[in-house]
Amino acid sequence: MPIFREREYLRVNLDEQRDESLWMQCKSCGELVFKRRVRENNNICPGCGEYFFLTATERFESLIDEGSFVDISRPIVADDPLGFEDSKPYAKRLEEAQERTGLASAIVIAAATITEIPVVMGVMDFRFIGGSMGSVIGEQICHGMEQAIERRCPFVLVSSSGGARIQEGLFSLLQMAKTSAVRTRLAAERLPFVSIMTYPTTGGVQASIASLGDIILAEKGAMIGFAGRRVIQNTIAEELPSNYQTDMFALEHGLIDRVAGRERLREELAEVLSYFRDADE
C-alpha cells in the first residue's frame, strides 16, 4: 500500500512562481493596494500593517540570498492509501491543490545561502490543503535534514500548517515520529536546526518537528498551539487567557526563543546562523 509515489517533478523556479497581477485587496482594511508595493513592504499592508499570507516562493525570497535558490525536493507526490472521501475524493483535493499552487506538495526543500551561509531550508505553503503534514511532507522534511547532514550545513524549517493531514489517517500521524527520529541524527552530527513558526503552526507539526529546533523563532502574529481554542475550553471547562496561542504567550512560557517582525526575520535568522558558524569555528 503506497503512501506516496515517484513522479516527474517540475522544479520550482522563483521567477516563474511570481504572481504578476497588479492589485490586491487587504482583508483587514478593505483597501486596494498595489501588489508590487506590498511585496516591497515584506507582504505587509502599507495602510494598516496587516500581514498577508506568504507563499513558499515569497517566503524563500524574503529570507535567502538572491540567486541562491536551488530546489532539491524529492520527486514524489502523495498517494491515497485509504481511498479517503468526504465532500470530494482526496485524490481530487490533491489535484486541485497542485493546480492552484503550482506545487507538487505543501512543502519545498531548497539548498540556498543566507548572508552567504549555506543552508538547507524547508518552507511549507498553507495554500496546499492548509499546509497539513502527510506522508510527503514528512518524507521531504527528512530528506531536507539528510541533505543538511550530507552538505554539513544548518537545516531551517519554516512552518505554516494546520497539523496532521486527516485524509491520510495514521500514515500522517506517523510523520511526527519519523521526522523527530531523523532530527536526532541531525543533532548527533552537531548540525544546527533552526525552526521558524509562522501563522499558523498547530497540531501535529507544532507537537513534533517544529518544536525541536535548537533555536525556535516565531514571526510576529504567529498562532502556536496544538488543539483549537474552543476544543480546549470545552474539554477543561475553563476560560483561556485572551492571548492564548499567540506568539507572545509562547515566548512568555518558554515555548519559543524569540519573536521577530517579518521585516526583521531574515536579519534575526542570519544572526542565529552566524552564531552557530562562529561557535563551530
> Are residues 43 and 52 in contact, defined by beta-carbon separation less than 8 angstroms?
yes
pLDDT at res. 40: 78
46 with 69, same domain? Answer: no
- The verdict on 195 and 150 lying in the same domain is yes
CATH number of the structural domain spanning residue 194: 3.90.226.10
Strands 155-161, 117-124: pairing kind: parallel
Region of residue 37 (left: phi > 0; alpha: psi -120 to 50; beta: else): alpha
Same domain as 128, residue 109: yes
Are residue 30 and residue 69 in the same domain, yes or no? Answer: no
pTM for this model (two decimals) = 0.90
Co-location of 156 and 245 in the same domain: yes
Question: For 239, which DSSP code?
Answer: P
Q: What pLDDT sits at residue 37?
A: 82
Together in a domain, 30 and 68? no
Q: Phi then psi for 225, rounded to 5 degrees?
A: 175, 180
d(CA 150, CA 154): 11
Instruction: Answer whether residue 2 is part of any domain.
Output: no
Residue 77 has a pLDDT of: 93
Same domain, 42 and 174: no
Range(s) of the domain holding residue 254: 54-280
Three-class SS of 128-143: CHHHCECHHHHHHHHH
Residues 28, 70, single domain; the answer is no
pLDDT, residue 13, reads: 66
Residues 27 and 164 in one domain: no
pLDDT per residue rounded down to tens, the chain (281 residues): 566 666 655 566 666 655 556 777 887 787 888 778 887 787 888 888 888 889 999 999 999 999 999 999 999 999 998 999 999 999 999 999 999 999 999 999 999 999 999 999 999 999 999 999 999 999 999 999 999 999 999 999 999 999 999 999 999 999 999 999 999 999 999 999 999 999 999 999 999 999 999 999 999 999 999 998 889 999 999 999 999 999 999 999 999 999 999 999 999 999 999 999 877 66
